[in-house]
Amino acid sequence: MNKTVICPGSFDPVTLGHLDIITRASKMFGKVIVAVLVNSGKNPTFSTEERMELLREATAGLDNVEITSFKGLLAEYCKSSGVDTIVKGLRAVSDFEYEFQMALANKKLNPQLETIFLTADADSTFLSSSMVREIGSMGGDISNFVPAPVHDRIVKKLRKQ
Ligand code: ADP
């Protein structure tokens, strides 16, 4: 489908779960914009630039994927960039309530906006950035959780924490 979609998130840092959703979306749509949320309230472990750089390296083989960042409301960002479809990954029942609320709120803010959910890959339903940060910072093996090309950079940063 020749359509541009947005995959938003914190990506602090990118995991194999994120990469699975981005890769599948890139096969289904003409262009995928991966939009890193600049969390002004939260204190991310990886800076916006680092998160974008890790995503760029992890998606280097996907020609129709573009990495960018945004501040503020996703609904506004979509409107200003002329994109009307959000693609998100849905891991478990625990994600559902929050994601359902967000999708409805975004539609109220921007009625053109549709949210599409892809079911998480069975192997990564348990995976989250916070789990990677926790295991990595304690010296655990995260090689099955993050994309191979960015593994070493993520480990180095987390061990410094
Ligand atoms: P988290 O910090 O929870 O890992 P993000 O805010 O960076 O997640 O998530 C961005 C998007 O990626 C969300 O749509 C989220 O549901 C999805 N996602 C996160 N982890 C996974 C995973 N393991 N499998 C599939 N989708 C995921």
Q: Report H helices in 39-137.
A: 48-58, 74-81, 93-109, 129-137
Write down how long the chain is.
Answer: 161
Catalytically annotated residue among 91, 107, 151, 153: 91
Is residue 59 within 8 Å of residue 22, measured between CB atoms?
yes
- pTM for the whole thing? 0.95
pLDDT number for residue 10: 96
Whether the per-residue pLDDT at 42 is higher than 90: the answer is: no
122 CA → ligand 1 middle, Å: 14
6-41 residue pLDDT tens: 999 999 999 999 999 999 999 999 999 999 999 777
Catalytic position from the list 51, 129, 133, 157: 129
Ligand 1 within 6 A of 146 CB? Answer: no
Cα–ligand 1 centroid distance for 89 (angstroms): 6
**Cis-peptide into 8, omega within 30 deg:** no
pLDDT at 16: 98
Helix (H, G, I), strand (E, B), or coil: what is residue 140?
Answer: coil
pLDDT in tens, 43-55: 899 999 999 999 9
How far apart are the CA of 112 and the centre of ligand 1, in A? 23
In the chain, the percentage of residues whose pLDDT exceeds 70 is 99
- Outline where DSSP puts E strands in the chain: 4-9, 31-37, 65-70, 85-90, 114-119
pLDDT above 80 for 150: yes
**Separation CA 127–CA 105 (nearest Å):** 26
Q: Is 11 in the pocket of ligand 1 (CB under 6 A)?
A: yes
The closest alpha carbon to 61, from 148, 156, 152, belongs to 148
Report whether residue 88 contacts ligand 1, using a CB cutoff of 6 Å.
yes
